[in-house]
Amino acid sequence: MNDADMMAYLRYRAIESVLDAQKGKVDEMVKEVASRTIFDPYFNRSFSFSDRTVYRYLKLYRLYGFDGLKPKVNRNRNNHCVLSPEQIRWITQLKEQLPLRSVRKIIAMLEASCMKERTVSRVLHDMGYTRSNLARDKNVYNHNVSADIFEQYQGDMMEGVYITDKNGNKRKVYLFGFIDNFSKFVPHSQFYYESSLPRMEDCLKKAITKYGVPERVYLDNGKVYVSYNFKLSCARLGIRLSYATPYHPAGKGCIERFWQFVQSDFLTELRLHPVDDIRMLYSRLASINKIAFSTHQVV
């Protein structure tokens, strides 16, 4: 991490609460942000931003993602020379066909891995193919409603069982996992020993390695999920984080049903066939996940 990354993250923190503001509430949220100061431990000082600056950061983030918030970035606006007219036509047609279709999904459908998400986003914005223009007054968007696979993950942690470690000591393991909000497919889940290691970060990293970066992640409000490094990592990847209200975890039905499955169909079987190796525990869970969720094929 360098100064540019940390400054971009500071600016992201300033606009984070405004990104999911309901229609008609943006101006109010911007004024609220502009009225407060933000202390940053990296720079060891407090910052404040004017209304105009907050609006500018919002625009930069929506156009260019996390990198757009870095200082002194050459953004090369309105220059789409890297895309052919035919590619631009296909991009706009796919977006017009389904306004909820994400930039990442458009690139995947075009099988154009060389395309950059920032470039496609800029094309759509400059040509007026924004979600608000295409679907004005037709859809109500909720941060827990997904329109496509791998758009939003729900993540959580549950207590597991006691197993014997390599030193012969009984230790409790904890299951961390992510489930796709649309397909109910589990991109990754894994048992970990209790430790100070970034277990949630590791689990999300492995899910991303397998299936790519989701647009949003919805988590519990526990301290294991709100670490500074976890927030920074998600911001750099363009992942929008949202959290369940403490003691009112509404919207977490997908992951809760997965935990129920683990409790009833997996942990119960361990009483008959115990496991004393965390790698074997993970292997068994992976195999039963494959069977249980085989109806949700990833294409």
Residue 174 covered by a domain: yes
Q: Are 212 and 199 in contact (CB under 8 A)?
A: no
Q: Which residues touch 62 (CB under 8 Å, ≥6 apart)?
A: 121, 125
Q: Which residues touch 241 (CB under 8 Å, ≥6 apart)?
A: 16, 216, 217, 219, 231, 234
Residues 92 and 174 in one domain: no
- What is the pLDDT at residue 87? 79
- What is the pLDDT at residue 103? 83
- Tokens found for residue 65: 């993602």
> For every one of its 299 residues, what pLDDT tens digit does the chain have, with 9 covering 90 and above?
677 888 899 999 999 889 888 878 899 999 999 998 888 888 777 888 899 999 999 999 988 888 889 886 444 444 444 677 677 878 877 777 677 778 887 887 776 667 788 888 888 877 666 655 555 434 433 445 566 788 899 998 888 888 877 788 888 888 999 999 888 889 999 999 876 568 889 999 999 999 999 999 988 766 666 677 888 888 988 898 887 765 555 566 778 888 888 887 788 777 777 777 888 888 888 776 655 554 444 43
3-class DSSP assignment, residue 170: strand
- What is the pLDDT at residue 142? 43
- What is the pLDDT at residue 133? 57
Nearest alpha carbon to residue 152 among 105, 83, 222, 93: 105
Phi, psi of 162 (to 5 degrees): -95, 130
Domain final residue pick, 134, 169, 191: 134
**Total tally of structural domains belonging to the chain:** 3
d(CA 104, CA 150): 10
d(CA 286, CA 141): 33
Residues 178 and 284 in one domain: yes
Residues 95 and 187 in one domain: no
| Domain, as residue range, for 275 | 152-292
Residues 102 and 43 in one domain: no
3-class DSSP assignment, residue 61: helix
d(CA 95, CA 277): 48
Q: CATH code at 194?
A: 3.30.420.10
| No. of helices (H) and no. of strands (E), the chain | 12, 7
Residue 74 covered by a domain: no
Is the full-model pTM beyond 0.75? no
- What is the pLDDT at residue 127? 67
Q: Are 53 and 71 in contact (CB under 8 A)?
A: no
Residue 146 covered by a domain: no
